Amino acid sequence: MKITLILFSLVSIGVIRCNKIAGAEELHRRIINGLRSEEREFTYVVNLLEMNNNVIYPVCGASLIRNNLILTAAHCVQCDHNSIADADVGNLFIVYNAVHLHRGKINKVIAGKCHPKWDIHAAVNDIAILKLKHHVADSVELVKLAFIDDFKGMMPSACLVVGWGDKKHTRRVFDTDHTDNEPLPTVSCLNNCEQHKAPISLISTERCDRMMRKVTSTHFIATDGSQICAYGNTTDACQGDSGGPLICDGIQYGIISWGIGCGEEEVPGVYTKVSHYSKWIKQTMNELSKSM
């Protein structure tokens, strides 16, 4: 059974990108056995891409939490003292507001912060907020986050994961938020350029721990309440979707973080629990909103 930590991997210079880390394989995730999303069904779900030679490649998912801020997983970016490293600023973009990547709008990431206790080896505190160069239009829906004071009682069981796959296809994106005559990069996506959704159910940490122990002796859910698990029988998030949202009743409860395999029977996925980070999210949103 392969371990699919939905983490970026390491290239030769040590930057977190897509190969192997901490004994894990295939460190991105994309939707398995899902359905194509309807147009404008999830306008707050965006695709995070990285530029190389003026071509941008999908690497992760994310969600719009303000008109110029997105929420994603810390493993989706290179962190330097809790902030986005200079190597990533200027090389990260988002495409949003369309099911198909080549029909979406493009925007640039200019800053961001990772959680100060993000640990790539333990895969905990896997959360980051990025700032965009241009505000998106007010007509684009923002996601509602499941802050601890926003809900009472038991968390919902019926949820969705949303994201893109990685089918090889390259084309220039013409629609952009750029207003300063910057050259437009070309978007290259692999296997599947369309956004998909898949039903999935939240499960208790106790059940998650029991299921995990049947398939691994090295990777387990955090015990401090910072992670939640979800299981979809044969539906799942997989390579390319990490950083994207876990949506329950129209509210984001989790951030796709890591798992073992993709859509395998009796194997749950692990998600960063949004409500656990309510204070950090609100504080970081305010800090980034005030920054240049």
Amino acid at 157: S
Catalytic entry in 126, 166, 177, 241? 126
* Residue the block writes with tokens 């240049």: 292
Residues 6+ apart with CB under 8 A from 92: 48, 49, 50, 51, 77, 84, 108, 109, 130
By residue count, the chain amounts to 292
What SS3 state is found at 160?
strand
CB-CB contact of 7 with 242 (8 Å): yes
Report residue 112 as tokens: 């961001």
The verdict on whether 126 is a catalytic residue reads yes
Report residue 183 as tokens: 């050259």
Residues 6+ apart with CB under 8 A from 130: 48, 62, 69, 70, 72, 77, 84, 92, 109, 111, 112
Catalytic entry in 9, 188, 226, 242? 242
Residues 6+ apart with CB under 8 A from 206: none
Amino acid at 29: R
What SS3 state is found at 163?
strand
* Helical (H) or strand (E) element with 282: helix 278-290
d(CA 100, CA 108): 18
Residues marked active site are found at 126, 242
